[in-house]
Amino acid sequence: MTESATGTTPTQGSETREFSAEVGRLLDLVVHSLYSEREIFLRELVANAADATDRRRFEALTDGARALPEDAKIRINPEKDARLLTISDDGAGMSKEELVSNLGTIAKSGTRAFGQKLEDAKPEDRPNLIGQFGVGFYAAFMVADKVDVVSRRAGSDDAWRWTSDGKGSYTLEPATREKAGTDITLHIKEDADEFLDSWRLEAIIRKWSDHIAWPVTIIKDGKEEAANEGTALWRKPRSEITEDQLNEFYRHLTHNFDTPWDTLHWRAEGTIEFSALLFIPGSRPFEFAEQTRESRLRLHVRRMFITDEADILPTWLRFVQGVVDTEDLPLNVSREMLQATPVLARIRKAVTGKVMGELKTRAKDEEAYAAFWENFGPVLKEGMWDDPAHRTEVAALSRFRSSAVDGLTSLDAYISRMKPEQDAIYYLTGDNAETLAASPQIEGFKARGVEVLLLSDAVDSFWPERLGTYEGKALRNVAQGQTDLEKFGAPAESDAEKADMDTLVPALKTALGDTVSDIRATDRLVNSAMVLTAPEGGPDLQLQKLMQRSGQSLPSVTPVLELNPAHPIVHHLAALVKAGKPVDALAHILLDVASIQNGEAPKDVNAFSRRLMDYLAGGVETDSTAEPAKD
């Protein structure tokens, strides 16, 4: 029978399932677009086997029925006469449902994105996209016209066979396997004879997978021979490791295919001993923002993988990838025990301190550091919100866009440019720096030569309140409450005639009612007529927007409407009031335009549109009784 991969299936017997159209298209891309470096398939299958063995080792910590055999390894068996190549492991294995989930779909991180990247990439870059998008298994179809997978889940007696020719469907049927683990058998294509040669296979393993901790063997003339050195790279002295080995280990570990921006390799000795090999990626990983916030550094004990959930680094350093290996923990330590052990607490402190020290050193090269900041700055800034112990350190490492300089600047550099009478670091939050640079909120500051930091990441609406001050200077949001621009004198435009605000403000308050909490003249504006601000002590408008987008709510805060007394529009409104003419509709237009300036749609788009059309037609001044349009 044939059915979709998501449909209900019988529990016994053979069944055939169709790949989705998108998956079929991607299989075609993998097979044909990656043709130039087909050896990559073996790297991916061996890496998957190693991961499965690691997983079983971890599961066995809490379930003895899943214990690894003492001679656990990855075996590669080429059979020239039968044109078969089998990669076997003693890992966790897969149940029927896991076979469907793991092999019946491609690229959980986004099939459409993978396909686009593959089509756009240069031919020499295409093999590097496989692991990055989670499609490594399917590289097998570059050299095989059919693939059989027989797998038995550790702790289960049932085994299942998955078979496909990569042309639109796959079959599932019960199978037998003496022990838990997985056999992947490739029916090698006529033009791929080289991958049935044991010497060629060994050369590929040495090139791509020599660092795999599990033994990899190749069957030659009926005998198993070691194919990898199997050394833990992180335990070697740095002088014995080549740059190529480091880069390949980084790529295997992270599934990224760039080169790391920085590599940290050291051995700690003293009260605790551990080896560490850490990487800061050179580019932002695919869908990094959607990943969990926990650090995923791998914890090993005496070279054996234990867990990647030990939270060795704080969440705001989760972009750091790598391995920490210690002798000071028992091999059978559980995750619950890990969280309580003082040994791990000391390792965490030491590793965090090492990473922070490295960032401080690298930050001295502003150009190189800017590349890192563009990739991971928004994550690092979370430390100013999350971590009181490192808040000031993270602040010193942070970089920002500014109204006064091109590129990025630090808080220390900002302070060095402050005016003598300035006692605060001014900032404005929003959705992007370009929009903030043109915001009415900072016109008065720019006119007086006062620098404003332009903060456009989501976390920027939160951390300034927690940080509070930096080097004795308060952080102050220019869109919140009254400005203190009077201490900086008046800009050149200040000699312009001012409208009669004493007459205008009461009329506007009557017209707008409780849609605003206050209306007042301001010195923050130069070229704009009006701006919306948050009341003193209330959450700024950007924070309110962020909370609404995330489905959360803050106590309702009504904005303040501030007016530029020198602007022609404000003069026009004041003249209308003085002449006894209605300004209700114009007042609402003014408020709606201020909302648009702030990145928000008018509360009643239909009413705004009608009022604006009436004004353009010349009818607003005499239309004081019209009701707002209904949705």
203 and 238 together in one domain = no
Residue 624 lies in a domain: no
List all residues 6 or more positions away from 12 whose beta carbon is below 8 Å from its beta carbon: 174
Residue 216 lies in a domain: yes
Predicted confidence (pLDDT) per residue in 340-390, tens digit: 788 999 999 999 999 999 999 999 999 999 999 999 999 999 999 999 999
118/524: higher pLDDT: 524
Q: Is 137 annotated as ligand-binding? A: yes
Pull the structure tokens for residue 444: 């008065």
Conformation bin of residue 571: beta by default, left when phi > 0, alpha when psi is -120 to 50: alpha
Q: Is 132 annotated as ligand-binding? A: yes
450 and 518 together in one domain = no
What gap in Å lies between CA 451 and CA 432, rounded to an integer? 17
Closest CA to 314 of 353, 279, 281: 353
pLDDT at 58 over 70: yes
Predicted confidence (pLDDT) per residue in 443-499, tens digit: 999 999 999 999 999 899 889 999 999 999 999 999 887 777 888 887 765 667 889
Residue 625 lies in a domain: no
Q: Is 86 annotated as ligand-binding? A: no
204 and 74 together in one domain = yes
What's the structural domain count of the chain? 4
Q: Which of 349, 368, 387 is the last residue of a domain?
A: 368
Number of H helices, E strands in the chain: 21, 23
151 and 46 together in one domain = yes
220 and 249 together in one domain = no
195 and 268 together in one domain = no
515 and 406 together in one domain = no
Report the CATH number that the domain containing residue 591 is assigned in CATH: 1.20.120.790
246 and 220 together in one domain = no
110 and 216 together in one domain = yes
222 and 249 together in one domain = no
Q: Is 564 annotated as ligand-binding? A: no
What gap in Å lies between CA 429 and CA 477, rounded to an integer? 8
pLDDT at 66 over 50: yes
Residue 439: what pLDDT?
92
Q: Which of 32-36, 44-48, 196-200, 242-246 has the highest mean pLDDT?
A: 196-200
Q: How confident is the model at residue 94 (pLDDT cuts 50, 70, 90)?
A: very high
What gap in Å lies between CA 175 and CA 191, rounded to an integer? 30
Q: Is 282 annotated as ligand-binding? A: no
DSSP state of 423: -
Q: Is 356 annotated as ligand-binding? A: no
Which of 130-134, 273-277, 347-351, 578-582 is predicted with the least confidence, judged by mean pLDDT? 130-134
Residue 130: what pLDDT?
42
What gap in Å lies between CA 628 and CA 604, rounded to an integer? 8
163 and 247 together in one domain = no
Residue 296 lies in a domain: yes
Report the CATH number that the domain containing residue 443 is assigned in CATH: 3.40.50.11260
Q: Which of 187, 206, 226 is the last residue of a domain?
A: 226
| Residue whose structure tokens are 């866009």 | 401
Pull the structure tokens for residue 293: 């916030």
Residue 121: what pLDDT?
60
Which of 113-117, 296-300, 505-509 is predicted with the least confidence, judged by mean pLDDT? 113-117
Per the structure, the complete domain to which residue 271 belongs is given by 233-368
Report the CATH number that the domain containing residue 151 is assigned in CATH: 3.30.565.10
pLDDT at 6 over 80: no
Q: How confident is the model at residue 166 (pLDDT cuts 50, 70, 90)?
A: confident
Residue 305: what pLDDT?
73
Residue 366: what pLDDT?
94
Mean pLDDT of 149-155: 95
Mean pLDDT of the chain: 84
Report the CATH number that the domain containing residue 357 is assigned in CATH: 3.30.230.80
Residue 418 lies in a domain: yes
Residue 388 lies in a domain: no
Q: Is 89 annotated as ligand-binding? A: yes
Q: Is 423 annotated as ligand-binding? A: no
120 and 83 together in one domain = yes
Q: Is 598 annotated as ligand-binding? A: no
Residue 46 lies in a domain: yes
Q: Is 335 annotated as ligand-binding? A: yes
Residue 17 lies in a domain: no
Q: Is 108 annotated as ligand-binding? A: yes
Q: Which of 488, 514, 548 is the last residue of a domain?
A: 488
